[in-house]
Amino acid sequence: MSRKQQLLKRHRRTKRLGLLIALVLLIGIGMLVAWWLPLVLAVLGWIAHEAWFADHLFYSPKDDYQYSFPPYTQRPKVHLVGEHLRLDEGVMLVDDATLVLALQVKSTWLGRFIDPVVELAGGNNPDRQTFERGVNGLRYLNLTGQAHVLSQGQLRLRGRFCRISGEPVLWAFEQPDYHRQRVMVIAPHADDAELAAYGLYSQANEAWIVTLTAGEIEAEHYQQFGLNKVEAARLKGRLRTWDSIAVPRWAGVPEAHCVQLGYFCLQLAAMKAAPSQPMGSREAELNDTRLFRQLNPFALPGDADGAPTWNNLLADLREVLLRARPDVIVLPHPTLDPHPDHICAQEAVLEALKGLDWQPTLLGYANHLHDNDRWPMGDAGHGIALPPAFDSSLAMHPCCLPMSLEQQRDKAMALGMMHDLQPPMPFKRRLRRWIQRLLAGRVPPTYGENEFFRKAVRRHELFWVLKHNDTSTPQK
């Protein structure tokens, strides 16, 4: 069982216990006061839950984030003077560096019910970064893109529904221009490349998109068309296969650089456990990957028998790596992103790279988190503060790439083309969003209903340097 599954299990057990206690109290109130009062209180309690307590937050908002950055990282001296963040005299910043600022954030009493926000103002590039309701601890703001304003002494930090305090600490991570390199994005499922790295790959000198699975399961939406479970899964897989090949064309990636490996969703871990044994689809009644490979621009080793095995996956990845020879590979982060297919995708790439005569830079991304299903918090278009992290023994090297408003819109349109993000939300989620907008001030995403339109369409794309190219050593 993954850590996220364990956290969800504990969360549901705690919620069931709370509901049982509330039920006993309501029955007691009904017996002692009036029969109708428990019904009114139950409705009010449910509304309060949907407005303020429905987030999956599996840590205390009072916990300090615990980051450890590489020891060679520059730490320009800064001070918070009132609302102004000021550099020491003579300190210079590189404009395109990733800038991270640690400070204490404490919510006001209203910040327990409305998301606390730190506003960055003072130039032509204002930003808002959001934290947990009830926050009271060390947090990390993302100041990437604010170097000029900060150097001019004009950057102001202002808390809304929170206060900022303490002596701030600034880190500056210089980085090469990854847009000028040959970039390969590894997507466990169609849309993962767009969610994580559309801004990067759409501007790269050369880009490749390699999607590992057809993403065919959980096809209930397509059963509404009168299809049975197997037919719906196959249709969904074909549609997402098409998406993985066609949508990158919106960003200018040639069709010859878009590859779909066609393995089956949530089966990568089973494949890895028995590398030579085929692992068929859970829902599509398929044991052959070739149905989902028909749009590929060239043949792959796994096409010989279509067997969904780990050995075939590694052979396919090696073939694509040798053909593309990327300078940079963008892939799921090994500890931040808990999805089992994402974990296995990262492991497969590392295994496929062994023994090759060059080693690219590896950038990690996280489209899902273990312990906060709302991160990145805040609204579409806002900045991305660093995610929760509580293991200071892991060295983390952030790499943040800004996105213009035009690039954000193009990214949103790319996500809108993805069939998996198109179905309308269930009624309960729609009602919850309406309640949260009314009572908690949360703004629904501008470009589409799916929550990923809020999470992914931001002024930053955040990556983590896992391994530099041949001249450097991997992060531990």
Q: What is the pLDDT of residues 403-448, one digit of tens each?
A: 999 999 999 999 999 999 999 999 999 999 999 999 999 999 999 9
Q: What is the CATH number of the domain that holds 120?
A: 2.60.120
Which residue did the predictor score with more confidence, 106 or 53? 106
- Per DSSP bridges, beta strands 361-365 and 328-332 are parallel
Quote the pLDDT of residue 49. 86
Quote the pLDDT of residue 37. 76
- Token pair, residue 191, equals 């849309």
Res. 470 pLDDT band, cuts 50 70 90: low
Quote the pLDDT of residue 192. 98
Same domain, 305 and 168: no
Q: How many domains does the chain have?
A: 3
Predicted confidence (pLDDT) at residue 161 exceeds the cutoff of 70: yes
Which of 173, 205, 228 is the last residue in one of the domains? 173
Question: For 235, left (φ over 0), alpha (ψ -120 to 50), or beta?
Answer: alpha
For range 217-246, the mean pLDDT: 97
* Distances in whole angstroms, Cα of residue 452 to Cα of each of 195, 314, 375, 411, 457: 8, 30, 10, 11, 8
**Percent residues over pLDDT 70 in the chain:** 93
What whole-number distance in Å separates Cα of residue 58 and Cα of residue 7? 7
- How many CB atoms neighbour CB 43 within 10 A? 10
For range 231-239, the mean pLDDT: 98
Question: Does 474 map to a domain?
Answer: no
Burial of 32 (0-12, 13-18, 19+ CB in 10 A): exposed
Q: In what order do the strands lie in the sheet with 136-142?
A: 136-142, 98-107, 162-173
What whole-number distance in Å separates Cα of residue 208 and Cα of residue 138? 38
Same domain, 212 and 147: no
Quote the pLDDT of residue 371. 87
Question: Does 381 map to a domain?
Answer: no
Question: Does 377 map to a domain?
Answer: no
Question: Does 375 map to a domain?
Answer: no
Which of 135, 156, 173 is the last residue in one of the domains? 173
Quote the pLDDT of residue 58. 87
Same domain, 191 and 167: no
What is the chain's mean pLDDT, rounded? 92
Same domain, 221 and 274: yes
Which residue did the predictor score with more confidence, 161 or 10? 161
Q: What is the CATH number of the domain that holds 339?
A: 3.40.50
pLDDT tens column, 281-308? 999 999 999 999 999 999 999 999 999 9
Quote the pLDDT of residue 29. 72
For range 439-464, the mean pLDDT: 96
- Which residue range forms the structural domain that includes residue 11? 3-53
What whole-number distance in Å separates Cα of residue 240 and Cα of residue 255? 15
Beta pairing partners, 90: none
Quote the pLDDT of residue 39. 79
- Round to the nearest angstrom and report the end-to-end CA distance of the chain: 24
Predicted confidence (pLDDT) at residue 381 exceeds the cutoff of 90: yes
Question: Does 104 map to a domain?
Answer: yes
For residue 207, what is the enclosing H or E element? strand 206-213
Question: Does 397 map to a domain?
Answer: no
For range 200-218, the mean pLDDT: 98
Predicted confidence (pLDDT) at residue 42 exceeds the cutoff of 90: no
Residue 118: closest CA among 97, 143, 86: 143
Beta strands in 76-126 (DSSP E): 78-81, 84-87, 98-107, 117-121
pLDDT tens column, 65-103? 999 999 889 999 999 999 999 999 878 898 899 999 999
Predicted confidence (pLDDT) at residue 3 exceeds the cutoff of 60: no
What whole-number distance in Å separates Cα of residue 114 and Cα of residue 174? 35
What whole-number distance in Å separates Cα of residue 408 and Cα of residue 205? 19
- Token pair, residue 448, equals 């589409």
**Percent residues over pLDDT 90 in the chain:** 82
pLDDT tens column, 114-131? 999 999 999 888 999 999
Predicted confidence (pLDDT) at residue 1 exceeds the cutoff of 60: no
Question: Does 333 map to a domain?
Answer: yes
Same domain, 191 and 308: yes
Residue 105: closest CA among 125, 122, 124, 80: 80
Quote the pLDDT of residue 476. 34
Res. 475 pLDDT band, cuts 50 70 90: very low
Same domain, 154 and 189: no
For range 3-21, the mean pLDDT: 65
